[in-house]
């Protein structure tokens, strides 16, 4: 069974940046090995949105992939996900996934707020993690070449631009979003060990 999450319909550049953040988090997690759902842009009943697997259950510490989930705390921190909470950990067949990354990177954050939180732990839920598992997540992130991260960010921004979620997400906004997201990733990657 699949779940369709329609994109917000009001005119704000952050609507497109939110889609970018959701897709980028999903794609980066795949190459790094963290438990996020694969997302794709789709249309349903004339509306654009994100299509993903349906997760019927709330997750807990007894899920089969608890170690990957615990390590994923490092991923949530490196992408500056200010909206990680226990309600965003759902499961299917006792395998857990982290959902809702629409407040990652620079989505819905003015620059002054990013500057205020850039050096701080931002996760509101610790994914049942501990220092050892968090550091395993740091190693998973460090194992990926930053050029691959930049490529994912660029490709994702181009796809979001192509779907024209918001006319304010123009070429300049695409470049700024990719640049700022990559800067956030690189900086947070350097300070990750201090964020547990």
Q: How confident is the model at residue 29 (pLDDT cuts 50, 70, 90)?
A: very high
Given this model, what pLDDT does residue 10 score?
80
Q: Are 145 and 31 in contact (CB under 8 A)?
A: no
**Interval 56-75 mean pLDDT:** 98
Task: List pLDDT tens digits, range 73-106.
Answer: 999 999 999 999 999 999 999 999 999 999 999 9
Q: How many helices (H) and strands (E) does the chain have?
A: 6, 6
Is 9's pLDDT higher than 90?
Answer: no
Is 11's pLDDT higher than 90?
Answer: no
Is 16's pLDDT higher than 90?
Answer: yes
Q: How confident is the model at residue 151 (pLDDT cuts 50, 70, 90)?
A: very high
Question: How far, in Å, are 39, 40, 154, 186, 194 from residue 112 at the CA level?
Answer: 30, 31, 24, 18, 22
**Interval 16-44 mean pLDDT:** 98
Cα gap 192→189, rounded to integer Å: 5
- Backbone conformation region of residue 105, classed left if phi is above 0, alpha if psi is from -120 to 50, else beta: left
Cα gap 76→123, rounded to integer Å: 7
Task: List pLDDT tens digits, range 104-136.
Answer: 999 999 999 999 999 999 999 999 999 999 999
Percent of the chain with pLDDT over 70: 100
**Interval 180-192 mean pLDDT:** 98
H-run or E-run covering 48: strand 47-53
CB atoms within 10 A of CB 190: 10
On average, the pLDDT of the chain sits at 97
Residue 36's SS3 state is strand
């Amino acid at each position: 069974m699949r779940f369709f999450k329609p994109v917000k319909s009001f005119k704000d550049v952050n609507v497109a940046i939110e889609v970018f953040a959701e897709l980028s988090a999903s794609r980066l997690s795949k190459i790094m090995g963290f438990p996020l759902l694969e997302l794709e842009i789709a249309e349903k009943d004339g509306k654009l949105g994100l299509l993903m697997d349906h997760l019927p259950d709330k997750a807990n510490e007894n899920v089969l992939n608890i170690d990957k989930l615990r390590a994923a705390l490092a991923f949530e921190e490196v992408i500056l996900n200010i909206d990680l909470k226990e309600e965003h950990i759902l499961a299917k067949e006792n395998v857990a996934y982290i959902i809702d990354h629409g407040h990652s990177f620079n989505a819905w954050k003015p620059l002054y707020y990013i500057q205020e939180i850039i050096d701080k732990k931002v996760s509101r839920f610790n994914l049942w993690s501990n220092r050892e598992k968090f550091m395993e997540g740091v190693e998973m992130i460090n194992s990926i070449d930053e050029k691959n991260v930049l490529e994912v960010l660029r490709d994702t921004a181009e796809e979001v631009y192509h779907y024209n979620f918001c006319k304010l997400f123009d070429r300049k906004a695409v470049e700024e979003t990719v640049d700022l997201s990559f800067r956030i990733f690189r900086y947070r990657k350097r300070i990750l060990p201090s964020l547990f």
